[in-house]
């Protein structure tokens, strides 16, 4: 199993991948929602978890969540939204996200979320 990180900021994407790898997880990275959907369609296995930013070019996090919900197999993958906005938590959950992780990312909170969702997978 792996974790898919959907983040358009290459530096943050790299840091998240390194952190997740240090936790012992395989990581795949996508730079926007469209790239993430392509990755999910091509993948031999489904990720245990998706960490997704909201504000991205081409396909933002909202559109990505909407597309995931249209596919019954992909809709089962837990998605954690990463955002700097403290005002989107309820909207993110209503759109299908299982949790919200606020930026700047707290590594201990990230680890707790990962452990919760990956162990449940």
Question: Quick check: helix, strand or coil at residue 49?
Answer: strand
Among candidate residues 103, 102, 98, 96, the one with its CA nearest the CA of residue 117: 98
Note down the domain range covering 88: 2-120
Q: What is the pLDDT along the chain (121 residues), one digit of tens a residue?
A: 799 999 999 999 999 999 999 999 999 999 999 999 999 999 999 999 999 999 999 999 999 999 999 999 999 999 999 998 888 888 888 888 999 999 999 999 999 999 998 875 5
pLDDT of residue 19: 96
What residues have CB less than 8 Å from 29, skipping those under 6 apart?
Answer: 4, 5, 6, 7, 13, 17
pLDDT of residue 111: 94
DSSP-assigned letter for residue 104: S
- φ and ψ of 59, to 5 deg: -135, 115
**CATH at 76:** 3.40.50.2300
Domain count, the chain: 1
């Amino acid at each position: 199993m792996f974790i898919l990180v959907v983040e358009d900021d290459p530096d943050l994407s790299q840091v998240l991948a390194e952190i997740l790898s240090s936790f012992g997880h395989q990581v795949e990275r996508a730079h926007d929602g469209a790239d993430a959907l392509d990755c999910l369609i091509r993948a031999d296995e489904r990720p245990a978890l998706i960490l997704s930013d909201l504000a991205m070019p081409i396909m933002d996090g909202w559109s990505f969540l909407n597309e995931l919900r249209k596919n019954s197999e992909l809709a089962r993958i837990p998605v954690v939204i990463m955002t700097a906005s403290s005002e989107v938590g309820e909207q993110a959950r209503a759109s299908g996200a299982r949790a919200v992780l606020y930026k700047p990312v707290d590594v201990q909170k990230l680890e707790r979320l990962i452990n919760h969702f990956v162990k449940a997978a």
